[in-house]
Amino acid sequence: MSSSTRKFSGEVDDFQVPIKAPSKETGYPPVLAYWIFGTNGDGERILRLLKALYHPRNRYLLQLDAGSSEYEKGELALSVQSERVFQAYGNVYVVGKSCVLNEMGSSSLAATLNAVALLLKISADWDWFMTLTASDYPLMTQDDLLHAFTFLPRNLNFIQYNRTRWEERQTANRIVVDPGLYNQKSAPIMYAVETRENPEAFRMFGGSPWMILARDFLEYCIRGWDNFPRKLLMYLSNVAYPLESYFHTVLCNSPEFKNTSVNNDLWYGIWDSVIEEPQFLTMSHLDDMLASGAAFAKPFQLNDPVLTKIDEHVLSRTPNSLVPGKWCPIQGTNRSLENSETKDQLCPSSGNIDSVKARSRGVELKMLLTKLVAEGRYRSCLCSKNCDL
């Protein structure tokens, strides 16, 4: 029996060796690296999100922050280990060591860079990296997303610039301290009375903290052959909301990467300017979500009915199952190993992991991305003072 068509049957011990590594030759779909994180009580939400996002080509790093109990972290790891599909492909990893994460402070940026470093250490075969929280959810299948990204240059960075809102939200000369950098529990950031001058050695840029970043750019941020990413990291350790400026600023101040930005993060959200946070999405937003062409949306409340609607009508996913695709042509039903005599799993048989079958949303996204990439002159504008953002 060929490695790409092996049946998922038998005992758990039969599934220790990955079935097949994804092909990386020209014309094959890319490999996406996901960091999915949450806090206390988010274990089940992370598992649901993982199943909605899963594809054997991709890499998945799951992490619960320091607000979670050791028991919950253990339950998350056990849930992943108990699924033979995840064991077979060996592409889902659970971080045992938690971190403090405050989205307003530099601990969030430190955690993001740490996740990138872990994924680079695990494997260097992925092409793009993205961060999702337990309150995010996909608006298309992985076959759709992989199809849309297949023929794109692998060095593109999908990152939303919004100078006006970023400047209104924070000023770089305001000094803050994030206790999450030195404490084991999250605490509100502290504001210093003193201020400092804005930087002269580089120009600051900002926008959305949600993005899809290319591996070669992230290698530059982590292993930087130039000192700028490290200098900026030290500067932003005392700035509020550093995730809204770090990657934007590195891109625009690095000649090698400044023309690789596409001004679209492919996320759907509704910003509430009063509370300065995104609104929770509900069934009333579904039509606008799907019409936006975005690949992901955020945030959703726990078990909101709109998630079930997305599962049924967008992902064709039944409860507690994976999303069917070219690699998993027959949708399986998950049952516990202890209580199932037939030991049915998330996907009862494996198809071709190097081939994807796009639906209408994937075709539409490919057309959108092709148009955005064709507007290459606009990418250089993003890092210009005269660019209207």
For residue 69, pLDDT over 80 is answered with: yes
Taking the CA of residue 51 as centre, how many other CA atoms within 13 Å lie in the half-sphere pointing to its CB? 24
What band does 389 get if pLDDT is binned at 50, 70 and 90? Answer: low
What band does 1 get if pLDDT is binned at 50, 70 and 90? Answer: very low
Least confident of 4-8, 33-37, 221-225, 303-307: 4-8
Per-residue confidence (pLDDT) for residue 372, from 0 to 100? 86
Least confident of 119-123, 161-165, 301-305, 332-336: 332-336
Nearest-5° Cα angle at 63, 8 to 77 = 40
Residues in the chain, overall count: 389
Rounded Cα distance between 132 and 109, Å, is: 14
Q: Could you tell me whether strands 296-297 and 137-138 are parallel, antiparallel, or unpaired per DSSP bridges?
A: antiparallel
Rounded Cα distance between 75 and 42, Å, is: 11
What band does 153 get if pLDDT is binned at 50, 70 and 90? Answer: very high
Q: Which residues contact 182 (CB under 8 A, 6 or more apart)?
A: none
Q: Is the peptide bond before 299 cis (omega within 30 degrees of 0)?
A: yes
Contact between residue 307 and residue 279 where contact means Cβ atoms under 8 Å apart: no
Contact between residue 280 and residue 133 where contact means Cβ atoms under 8 Å apart: no
Integer CA distances (angstroms), 216 to 31, 120, 221, 256, 369, in order: 13, 10, 9, 11, 20
What would the mean pLDDT of 171-200 be, rounded to a whole number?
Answer: 87
Report the range out of 236-245, 270-279, 281-290 with the highest average pLDDT: 281-290
Q: Which two tokens stand for residue 129?
A: 């990296």
For residue 217, pLDDT over 50 is answered with: yes
Taking the CA of residue 274 as centre, how many other CA atoms within 13 Å lie in the half-sphere pointing to its CB? 1
Other CB atoms closer than 10 Å to residue 188's CB: what's the count?
Answer: 11
Rounded Cα distance between 349 and 367, Å, is: 32
Least confident of 20-29, 260-269, 284-293: 20-29
Residues paired with 129 in a beta bridge: 33, 213
What band does 144 get if pLDDT is binned at 50, 70 and 90? Answer: very high
For residue 10, pLDDT over 60 is answered with: no
Per-residue confidence (pLDDT) for residue 345, from 0 to 100? 58
What band does 293 get if pLDDT is binned at 50, 70 and 90? Answer: very high
For the entire predicted model, the pTM comes to 0.90
Nearest-5° Cα angle at 43, 12 to 295 = 95
Other CB atoms closer than 10 Å to residue 186's CB: what's the count?
Answer: 20
For residue 77, pLDDT over 80 is answered with: yes
Q: What is the mean pLDDT of the chain?
A: 86
Contact between residue 159 and residue 209 where contact means Cβ atoms under 8 Å apart: no
Residue 28: left if φ>0, alpha if ψ -120 to 50, beta else—which one? Answer: beta
Give the dihedral of Cα atoms 313, 271, 295, 128; nearest 10 deg.
Answer: -150
What would the mean pLDDT of 111-127 be, rounded to a whole number?
Answer: 96
Taking the CA of residue 268 as centre, how many other CA atoms within 13 Å lie in the half-sphere pointing to its CB? 21
Task: Tell which wins on pLDDT, 51 or 18.
Answer: 51
Integer CA distances (angstroms), 340 to 152, 334, 337, in order: 43, 9, 6
Per-residue confidence (pLDDT) for residue 378, from 0 to 100? 54
